[in-house]
Each structure stands twice: as C-alpha cells, then as structure tokens.
C-alpha cells in the first residue's frame, strides 16, 4: 500500500482507533471520527479492522454517524478485510443508499483477494431492482467478480439515460460475451458533452482491456491525467500479454497526450459567437477540461499576439495557485513561443508542490518549444536545465523531459534508462536505442 500519506492527519493507529470509538457527545470541537476512519486505511491490523467493524455496527441515526459508517465500510474494502464481509453484507439491507453503494464497492474490493459466496452476489444483483441505487457501482462489482448470472439484469441498463451507468452495462456485456458491438457505444461516449461520461468511459475501456481504444482515448477532451492513466493501464496489460506493440500502438498516442495540444483532440464544445480574450482566459479555470481545450485552441488561433500579457496577468492574480489553469498557462507560453516567459517556465520546471506535478512536464515541453524557436534563448542552457531533472521518480515528467531533449537534438540520455524501473520509460529508451544497436551490428 502507498504510504506517502500515512501521517497526513498526524494520528497514530491507537489514537485513530480511540477517536473512532469515542461517543459522539464526548467528541472535542476539533475531533473527527470520519478522519479517524479514513486514516485507518494505513493500518491493516486486526485491531484496526475490529474498530472499523464496531464503527459500522454503530447505528445512531444522526448524519455524522451515517457518514462515518460509510467511510468505515469503504476503508474495510480498501483493506480487503475478508472478516468484515458479514457486517458489510448486512449494510445491503439498509435504507442509506450511499452506505449500500460503499458496501457493494467494498465487496468488489474484497473479492479481488478472496472468493465471494454466490448467494451474496445474488443479493447484490437484486439491488439492480431496487430504486435509487448507484447502479454503475453494482454493475461494475458484479462484472469484476465474474458473476455472469447477473447479465440478464444488467442488460436492462444499456438503455439507461445515465450515460456512466449505460457505459458500465455495455462494458459488462462485452466482458461476459466477447461481443464488440456494445463497445462502439462506449467509444462514442468519449465524445459526450458530459465530462463525467467521458472520464468513466475511459475507465470502462480499461476494465474491458479494450486495447484498440488507446488512440481514441488520446483524443478525448478530458484532463490529460485521465488520458495518461487510461493509456498507461492499457499499455501495461496489453504489452504484458503481447497483444500490443509499444512503438506502434502506444508511443504515438502517449506522446501526443503528453504534449497535450488542443489540435490533437476531438473537441465536443463550440462557441455560438466569437468570445473575447477575457472570456477565454476565464475558461482556463473550468473543471470540464473540454471547455479549457476549446479556449486554448481559440486563444492560439485568434488571440496569439495579445494573449501573453493576459496570461501573465492571470498567472499572477490566480493561476499560480490554481493547478488546472496553471497547467494551461504553462503550455500556452510554449506554443506561443514567448521568450519572456522563460524564467517563469524554468521556475515551474522545479515546482515543489505535488498538485502542480503535471505543470512540471508541461514546463519541460514548453521550454523546448521556446528554445527551439528563439535565438535569444540559449539552447544548451535549456538542455542542461532539463537534464538536471532527469533523476525524478515521476514517470510522466521523465518521459516529457526525454521528449523535450530529443526535440532540442539531444537523444544521448536514453542510454541511461534502458533498464529503468518504469516500463514506459524503459520501452521508450529501448526503442530509441534499437536502431543504434542494429547499425552497430552491420
């Protein structure tokens, strides 16, 4: 388990258990049983699991306790606590739909480790007939646990008006039957005007191991975080199975995604009238990245001359603290080939805060753009700056650094990474070195 955030709440295991066990009327003003239930995911011990089970069994009807119970069930699922199955199963009969959702999800997580009784899976299937449930989670759990008897009940949801639910049902049919036709509808959801539908369609394509979707995922107008995750997971599985080739079916789409230019995406939004510069800059703060990419494309096409000043203003006012807009501003300065942004890009290449991680990779590529297009920027200085970051453990930053160096004519660093721990870095390095080795054999 990833322990990077084990001390996030500054609680020991015993302190978290004591807090979770505290009666509601004895809690201090700063105490939170919810935080305790969340924090205990870092301790897979019998006393932690027992404490979480006690929390689930506390049925006080107040909202705070209901929320704690939901989180306790979720944590038991994350811990894959098989001994908690009876208490989680009992949650399926309750009226709290969110608790039921977490219980179904937890059963799916535990089922990855240990066999789930068919009678329990039949009980989960019956929830598909119960109004008001989160049907997508139920379908996903039943499918992931290979409960094919649920297929007739699942089929009805392919016509659901809720696109994420329909996507899950269509994917389930493919996974159970091998019929590719439903997956064409899932692929079409990558172009939905609903951002959640686009994001979850990527997840369904990954769950289905639908390797032919990699190119379509790369063109989907969602945050590159979702695209990179989808491509990476499909690449890892497909390459391990020998079903896809890195150079032909992964690298072009992965690298297109890392560069993240709006011209390479199939945008789903449009403007009904030409927007002004101020509006386009505000659009960079949208949570639907599809709208951000439309603004990026329009800024580049219609406002390239005046955009830099507006970008500097918004960076200082807000974007340097907003990791979404920050990312877009960094990229724009590279595409605009704006040399005065050099110092800002250099600073952000080394940004220390993890939420700005994707901006570091964007800064690497933007620096290469500026160094390539401006005589006043010393190319070797930029190369040295990029090389200084190559020891990073962040795979997408390292990959972007290698792309940026190659763009500036320096491919000599690939030899360092032919045995890199990350499979994508390793594959890229080996692919670049292969022609060299072949030439040496002649």
* Residues whose CB falls within 8 Å of the CB of residue 370, separated by 6 or more in sequence, listed in order: 333, 334, 337, 338, 339, 341, 342, 345, 377, 382
Cα–chain-centroid distance for residue 75?
20
Look at residue 300 and tell me if it is in a domain: yes
209: closest CA among 257, 182, 171, 249?
Answer: 171
Q: Which of 58, 81, 116 is the last residue of a domain?
A: 116
Q: What whole-number distance in Å separates Cα of residue 423 and Cα of residue 236?
A: 8
Q: How far apart are CA 160 and CA 154, in angstroms?
A: 11
Q: Long-range contact list for 3-7, CB < 8 A, 24+ apart?
A: 3/42, 5/42, 6/42
What whole-number distance in Å separates Cα of residue 160 and Cα of residue 164? Answer: 9
Residue 393 lies in a domain: yes
Between CA 187 and CA 204 the distance in angstroms is 10
Q: Which two tokens stand for residue 264?
A: 């390479």
Q: Burial, 6: exposed, middle or buried (Cβ in 10 Å; 0-12, 13-18, 19+)?
A: middle
The reply to whether 267 falls in a domain is no
How distant, in Å, are the alpha carbons of 13, 17, 36, 75, 106 from that of 43? 7, 10, 11, 10, 17
CA–CA distance, 290 with 223 (Å, rounded to integer): 8
Q: Hey, what's the torsion of the CAs at 366, 368, 374, 376, to 10 degrees? A: 100
Q: Which two tokens stand for residue 108?
A: 């799916």
Token reading at 105: 């999800």
23: left (phi over 0), alpha (psi -120 to 50) or beta: beta
- The domain containing residue 343 runs over which residues? 277-410
Neighbours of 412 (CB within 10 A): 11
Residues in the chain: 442
Q: Is residue 330 part of a domain?
A: yes
pLDDT, one tens digit per residue, over 58-100 is: 999 999 999 999 999 999 999 999 999 999 999 999 999 999 9
What is the predicted pLDDT for the residue at 9?
65
User: What angle in degrees, to the nearest 10, is found between the helix axes of 357-373 and 342-349?
Assistant: 140
Supply the CATH number for residue 107's domain.
1.25.10.10
Q: pLDDT at position 437, please? A: 52
Q: Which of 96, 116, 136 lies at the terminal end of a domain, its last residue?
A: 116
pLDDT given at position 375: 86
Show Cβ contacts of residue 387 under 8 Å, excluding neighbours closer than 6 positions.
Answer: 401, 405, 413
- Nearest Cα residue to 125 out of 98, 161, 84, 157: 157
CA distance 345 to 31: 42
- Tally the domains of the chain: 2
Q: Is residue 133 part of a domain?
A: no
Buried/exposed code over 138-173 (b: 16+ C-beta within 10 A; e: otherwise): bbbbbbebebeebbebbeebbebeebbbbbbbbbbb
Regions of the chain where pLDDT drops below 50: 1-6, 438, 440-442
**Cα angle at 224 between 219 and 230, to 5 degrees?**
75
Give DSSP secondary structure letters for 56-95. HH----SHHHHHHHHHHHHHHHHTT-GGGHHHHHHHTTSS
Q: Which of 71, 89, 116 is the last residue of a domain?
A: 116
CA distance readout (Å), 136 to 55, 105, 130, 140, 193:
26, 10, 13, 6, 19
In a domain, 231, yes or no: no
């Amino acid at each position: 388990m990833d322990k990077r955030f084990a001390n996030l709440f500054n609680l020991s295991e015993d302190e978290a258990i004591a807090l979770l066990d505290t009666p509601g009327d004895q809690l201090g003003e700063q105490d939170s049983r919810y935080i305790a239930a969340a924090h205990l995911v870092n301790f897979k011990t019998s006393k932690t699991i027992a404490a979480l089970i006690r929390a689930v069994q506390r049925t006080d009807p107040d909202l705070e306790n209901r929320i704690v119970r939901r989180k306790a069930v979720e944590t038991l699922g994350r811990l894959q606590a098989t001994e908690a199955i009876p208490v989680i199963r009992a949650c399926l009969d309750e009226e709290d739909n969110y608790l039921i959702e977490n219980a179904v999800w937890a059963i799916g997580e535990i089922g990855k480790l240990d066999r789930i009784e068919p009678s329990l899976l039949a009980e989960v299937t019956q929830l598909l007939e119960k109004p008001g449930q989160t049907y997508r989670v139920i379908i996903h759990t039943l499918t992931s646990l290979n409960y094919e008897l649920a297929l007739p009940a699942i089929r009805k949801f392919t016509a659901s008006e809720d696109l994420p639910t329909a996507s899950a049902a269509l994917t389930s049919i493919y996974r159970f039957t091998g019929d590719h036709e439903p997956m064409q509808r899932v692929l079409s959801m990558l172009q939905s005007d609903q951002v959640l539908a686009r994001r979850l369609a990527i997840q369904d394509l990954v769950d289905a191991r639908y390797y032919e979707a990699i190119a379509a995922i790369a063109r989907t107008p969602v945050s590159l975080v979702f695209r990179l995750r989808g491509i990476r997971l499909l690449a890892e599985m497909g390459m391990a199975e020998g079903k896809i080739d890195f150079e032909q079916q992964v690298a072009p789409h992965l690298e297109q995604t890392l560069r993240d230019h709006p011209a390479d995406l199939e945008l789903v939004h449009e403007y009904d009238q030409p927007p002004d510069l101020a509006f386009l800059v505000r659009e960079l703060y949208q949570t639907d990245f599809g709208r951000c990419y439309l603004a990026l494309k329009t800024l580049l096409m219609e406002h390239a001359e005046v955009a830099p000043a507006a970008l500097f203003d918004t960076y200082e006012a807000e974007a340097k603290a907003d990791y979404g807009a920050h990312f877009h501003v960094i990229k724009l300065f590279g595409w605009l080939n704006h040399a005065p942004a050099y110092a800002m890009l250099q600073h952000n290449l080394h940004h220390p805060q993890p939420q700005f991680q994707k901006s570091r990779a964007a800064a690497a590529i933007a620096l290469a753009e500026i160094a390539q297009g401006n005589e006043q920027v010393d190319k070797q200085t930029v190369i040295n700056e990029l090389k200084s970051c190559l020891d990073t453990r962040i795979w997408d930053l390292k990959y972007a650094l290698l792309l940026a160096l190659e763009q500036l004519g320096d491919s000599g660093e690939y030899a360092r990474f032919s045995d890199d721990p990350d499979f994508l870095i390793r594959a890229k390095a080996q692919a670049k070195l292969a022609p060299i080795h072949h030439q040496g054999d002649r």
